[in-house]
């Protein structure tokens, strides 16, 4: 008899669980069934819920009183018309922002593509990142390259010892992964807060055209993010490898969807922006449209925001390719269209991606990240 009761209650429990499961599964499914509209919208898989927005500051932090009627910068605009901050030196207090973001225990992910001869830029990129990029935070840098053996051994500043571990490559169809970890010495410089930078190298096939390398970036970014989800509290920045850091790039750059204004066009009228102008492309922006010209060489944000961007741009790029069109500046064109419709919640000034060959304009008080001078014929597979 006891046996009979157990069976009945078990069946009841299973039926209830089955109903709950079916309900949640069905509602999860319907959220996927949104067709791709002319506005490039793909159905979203996850919701960006507010940990990003809880800006908790520690008690008793000492800093100068902020002013309301005196902006520290009057030569530049510090907010977009949709009220996203435009980050310039002087518009933020780094101590306050760091004190807000460090306790959140986030990891900053960075992706760089060092395919073909571009591997030559990686050493300088990594060395300068260690000095300037999110110092004091956990940083994971994903390096995509077809020459994993040329990934340089990086010596850390201030004489810290480097521990390198090399795992056996896993078997997978296209990618081989092995991790090089860099660990700070136990009793390193006491002024440095706990700091952990990890380098993860991913193998990608060699490409014949530089445009192909450019095009695959979105797909690879999408895949890296998908591995990280459902942990959605972290941020990702996708950066050009042929650049180096000269100044702080830190928590002031964090936001839901973060774009960088291109150094070549931030003073120009929108008619001069090199948007894709052929209506047949999915990156098309009509005359009279567009806020800023954003860089394809530096963008970022919360994982799921960038995932949506990467997925959309990749889809549009591939759809264009099937019709025999390649946008004027490849994924940068698609990114610009995406950000016209999906407004970035934070815009970084050209301090965040300058060009070494350009003399500095007076409003750029500090160059934080800058493309190095290079000879394209030397480094592109199909110059």
Nearest distance, CB of residue 197 and another protein, angstroms: 24
Q: Is 267 in the site for another protein (CB under 8 A)?
A: yes
| 378 assigned binding-site residue | no
Q: Is 38 in the site for another protein (CB under 8 A)?
A: yes
| 240 assigned binding-site residue | yes
| 207 assigned binding-site residue | no
Q: Which of 74, 373, 377, 383 binds another protein (CB under 8 A)?
A: 74
Q: Which of 36, 55, 157, 321 binds another protein (CB under 8 A)?
A: 55
| 289 assigned binding-site residue | no
Q: Is 89 in the site for another protein (CB under 8 A)?
A: no
For residue 339, the number of C-alpha atoms closer than 13 Å in the C-beta half-sphere is: 30
Token look-up 């959140």 returns 104
Nearest distance, CB of residue 172 and another protein, angstroms: 25
Applying the rule CB under 8 A, the residues between 225 and 254 that interact with another protein are 230, 252
Q: Which of 12, 15, 17, 321 binds another protein (CB under 8 A)?
A: 17
Applying the rule CB under 8 A, the residues between 161 and 200 that interact with another protein are none
d(CA 156, CA 150): 18
Residues 6 or more apart in contact with residue 109 via CB below 8 angstroms: 139, 140, 141, 142, 224, 228, 234, 235, 236, 237, 303
Q: Does the annotation mark 332 as catalytic? A: yes
d(CA 35, CA 27): 16
| 162 assigned binding-site residue | no
d(CA 87, CA 92): 8
| 262 assigned binding-site residue | yes
* Catalytic pick among 219, 332, 351, 363: 332
Q: Write a three-state SS string for 214-261.
A: HHHHHHHHHHHHHHHCCCCCCEEEEECCCEEECCCECHHHCCCEEEEE
| 241 assigned binding-site residue | yes
Residues 6 or more apart in contact with residue 261 via CB below 8 angstroms: 86, 292, 293, 294, 295, 347, 348, 349, 350
Q: Is 79 in the site for another protein (CB under 8 A)?
A: yes
**Shorter beta-carbon distance to another protein: residue 188 or 355:** 355
Nearest distance, CB of residue 332 and another protein, angstroms: 19
Q: Is 109 in the site for another protein (CB under 8 A)?
A: no
| 246 assigned binding-site residue | no
Q: Which of 270, 365, 374, 380 binds another protein (CB under 8 A)?
A: 270
Q: Is 319 in the site for another protein (CB under 8 A)?
A: no
Nearest distance, CB of residue 92 and another protein, angstroms: 5
Q: Among 34, 28, 30, 45, which residue's Cα sits nearest to residue 311?
A: 45
Choices 80-88, 123-131, 237-245, 375-383 (CB under 8 A): range interacting with another protein:
80-88
Asked if residue 113 lies in contact with residue 239, where contact means CB atoms within 8 angstroms, the answer is no
Nearest distance, CB of residue 137 and another protein, angstroms: 17
Q: Which x/- pattern over 321-360 shows residues binding another protein (rule: CB under 8 A)? A: -------------------xxxxxxx--x-----------
**Shorter beta-carbon distance to another protein: residue 86 or 199:** 86
Choices 60-68, 130-138, 155-163, 316-324 (CB under 8 A): range interacting with another protein:
60-68
Query: How, if at all, do strands 369-371 and 354-355 pair?
Result: parallel
Instruction: Take residue 178 and report the two structure tokens written for it.
Output: 């092995």
Give DSSP secondary structure letters for 67-106.
PSS--S-SSS--B-TT--BEE-TTSS-HHHHHHHHGGG--
**Shorter beta-carbon distance to another protein: residue 79 or 193:** 79
Q: Is 289 in the site for another protein (CB under 8 A)?
A: yes
Nearest distance, CB of residue 33 and another protein, angstroms: 12
d(CA 294, CA 44): 23
Token look-up 């698609």 returns 334
- Going from the C-alpha of 60 to that of each of 53, 63, 103, the distances in angstroms are 21, 9, 15
The residues carrying an active-site annotation are 332
Annotated binding-site members for UDP-N-acetyl-alpha-D-galactosamine: 113-115, 118, 240-242
């Amino acid at each position: 008899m006891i046996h009979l009761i157990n069976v009945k209650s078990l069946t009841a429990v299973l039926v209830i669980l089955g109903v709950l499961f079916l309900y949640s599964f069905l509602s999860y499914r319907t959220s996927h069934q949104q067709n791709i509209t002319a506005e490039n919208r793909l159905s979203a898989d996850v919701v960006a819920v507010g940990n990003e927005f809880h800006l908790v500051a520690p008690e008793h932090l000492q800093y100068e009183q902020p002013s309301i009627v005196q902006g520290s910068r009057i030569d530049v605009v510090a907010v977009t018309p949709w009220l996203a901050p435009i980050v310039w030196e002087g518009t933020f207090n780094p101590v306050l922002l760091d004190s807000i973001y460090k306790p959140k225990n986030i990891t900053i992910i960075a992706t760089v593509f060092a395919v073909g001869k571009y591997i030559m830029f990686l050493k300088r990129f990594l060395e300068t990142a260690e000095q300037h990029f999110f110092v004091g935070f956990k940083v994971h840098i994903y390096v995509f390259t077809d020459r994993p053996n040329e990934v340089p051994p990086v010596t850390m500043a201030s004489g810290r010892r480097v521990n390198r571990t090399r795992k056996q490559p896993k078997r997978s169809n296209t990618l081989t992964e092995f991790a090089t970890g860099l660990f700070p010495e136990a009793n390193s410089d006491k002024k440095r807060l706990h700091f952990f930078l990890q380098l993860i190298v991913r193998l990608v096939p060699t490409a014949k055209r530089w445009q192909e390398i450019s095009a695959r970036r979105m797909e690879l970014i999408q895949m890296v993010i998908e591995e990280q989800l459902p942990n959605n509290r972290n941020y990702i920045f996708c950066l050009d490898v042929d650049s180096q850091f000269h100044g702080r790039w830190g928590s002031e750059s964090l936001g839901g969807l973060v774009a960088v204004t291109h150094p070549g066009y931030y003073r120009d009228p929108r008619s001069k922006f090199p948007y894709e102008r052929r209506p047949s492309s999915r990156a098309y922006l009509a005359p009279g449209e567009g806020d800023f010209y954003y860089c394809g060489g530096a963008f970022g944000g919360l994982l799921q925001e960038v995932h949506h961007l990467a997925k959309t741009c990749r889809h549009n790029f591939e759809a264009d390719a099937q019709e025999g069109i390649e946008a004027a500046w490849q994924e940068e064109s698609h990114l610009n269209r995406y950000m016209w419709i999906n407004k970035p919640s934070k815009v970084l000034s050209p301090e965040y991606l300058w060009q070494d060959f350009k003399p500095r304009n007076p409003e750029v008080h500090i160059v934080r990240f800058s493309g190095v001078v290079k000879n394209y014929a030397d480094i592109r597979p199909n110059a």
